[in-house]
Each structure stands twice: as C-alpha cells, then as structure tokens.
C-alpha cells in the first residue's frame, strides 16, 4: 500500500485514477498546439504588432514537449498497472510498482500543469499581438489577458481547486509565470520592450 496516497496495488490494478481522459486531453492539446503554431507561422501578426511569433513558438513548443511527456508517463503507468495485476501475492514487487506509480502521478501532473500554463500564456501573447496588429495600441486590448487571468484564477481561489492545490508549489509557480508574462505584455504595450 502507498503510505503517501493511501492507494493499494489492487486499487491501481482496478483502475483508480485511470489515465484515459488525461491521455485524451494531452493528445488533443498536442494537436491544438501544433495547429496554432502552424497557423501563426503561415500568417504571423502584422508588422505594426512588432513580433510575437518567436515567443509563442517557444511557449507552444515547451507545451508540446510537456504534453508529450504526460503521454509517455501515462503509458508507463499503464504498463506498470499491467505488471501489478500479474504480481499477485508478491508484496515487495507490488510496493516498488506502487512507489513508481506515485512518482509517475506526481510528474505527469507537473508536466500537465506546465503544458496548460504555457499554452494559455501563448494564447495571451498571440491574441494580444494579432489585435495590436489589427486595431493598434488601444487600452482595451491589454484588458484581454488580464480578464483571462482572472477567469482562470476564479476556481483556484473559490472552487474545489482551492481545497486541492491552493498552496501547492505548482500553483505558486503557475501564478509567478503568469504574472511575469502579464508584466511583459504591459511593458510591450507601453513600448518599453518588444515581445518578439
């Protein structure tokens, strides 16, 4: 039995925390990332927006690799669950498998959150740059990423996520990364820097 999570080998073998929906989500987001990058390369933000394509490419590629790692981790977990089913009665082998499954769960979550954060920030940057290229530097355009930031954080501050991960390292890192990019967008809007 995993002492940390209170999950036994038989629980894993029965499919507790089954990976199917997460794998489907990760695969769909990989596809979405690649489509967005391809469309952005085909029709980058206009000259007046001064860039953004390099930044969104970096963000989307980090996200792509993160989601690929999620799929890899979950495939490894499926393999370990099948081994767990075959190791009936061998407690030492079960304990090692359950420990590895605990590690996989932790890293898959970190990679999944990383992929989501960088995908989200890339969408902030690309939507901001496209709108600047279309209508120019109007204040309402800068409101969009801040509005999206608030919408993302409402469930984290008020809903179930508050109970689950309100003070976790992942949540704090997510907040820091998002605030950094919001600050960069503000500096770009004031034309003190250029997001390439």
Q: What is the radius of gyration, based on Cα positions, of the chain?
A: 21
Residue-wise pLDDT for 150-182, tens only, equals 998 888 778 666 655 666 778 888 999 999 999
In sequence order, the 6+-apart residues with CB closer than 8 A to the CB of 101 are 2, 12, 77, 80, 81, 84
Contact 68, 102 (CB under 8 A): no
pLDDT in tens, 24-73: 777 888 888 888 888 888 888 775 556 788 899 999 999 999 999 988 88
pLDDT of residue 14: 53
The predicted pLDDT at position 2 comes to: 47
pLDDT per residue as tens digits for the range 112-141? 889 989 999 999 999 899 898 888 889 999
Would you list the DSSP string of 13-55? HHTTT-SHHHHHHHHHHHHHHHHHHHHHHHSPPPGGG---HHH
pLDDT at 148: 93
Question: Residue 48: its pLDDT value, please?
Answer: 54
Q: What is the largest CA-CA distance in the chain?
A: 68
pLDDT at 91: 77
| Per-domain residue ranges of the chain | 9-189
More confident residue, 184 or 43: 184
Q: Is residue 85 pLDDT above 60, yes or no? A: yes
Question: Which pTM does this prediction carry?
Answer: 0.80
The pLDDT of residue 99 is above 80:
yes
């Amino acid at each position: 039995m995993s002492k940390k999570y209170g999950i036994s080998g038989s629980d894993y073998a029965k499919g507790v925390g089954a990976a199917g929906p997460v794998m489907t989500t990760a695969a769909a987001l990989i596809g979405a990332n690649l489509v967005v990058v391809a469309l952005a390369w085909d029709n980058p933000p206009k000259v007046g927006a001064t860039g953004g394509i390099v930044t969104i490419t970096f963000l989307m590629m980090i996200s792509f690799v993160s989601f690929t790692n999620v799929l890899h981790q979950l495939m490894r977990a499926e393999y370990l669950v099948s081994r767990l089913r075959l190791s009936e009665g061998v407690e030492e082998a079960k304990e090692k498998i359950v420990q590895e499954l605990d590690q996989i769960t932790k890293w898959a979550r970190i990679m999944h959150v990383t992929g989501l954060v960088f995908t989200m920030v890339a969408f902030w940057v690309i939507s901001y740059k496209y709108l600047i290229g279309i209508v120019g530097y109007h204040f309402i355009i800068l409101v969009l990423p801040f509005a999206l930031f608030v919408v993302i954080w409402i469930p984290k501050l008020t809903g179930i996520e508050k109970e689950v991960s309100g003070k976790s390292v992942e949540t704090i890192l997510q907040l820091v990364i998002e605030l950094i990019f919001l600050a960069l967008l503000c500096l770009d809007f004031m034309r003190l820097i250029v997001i390439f």
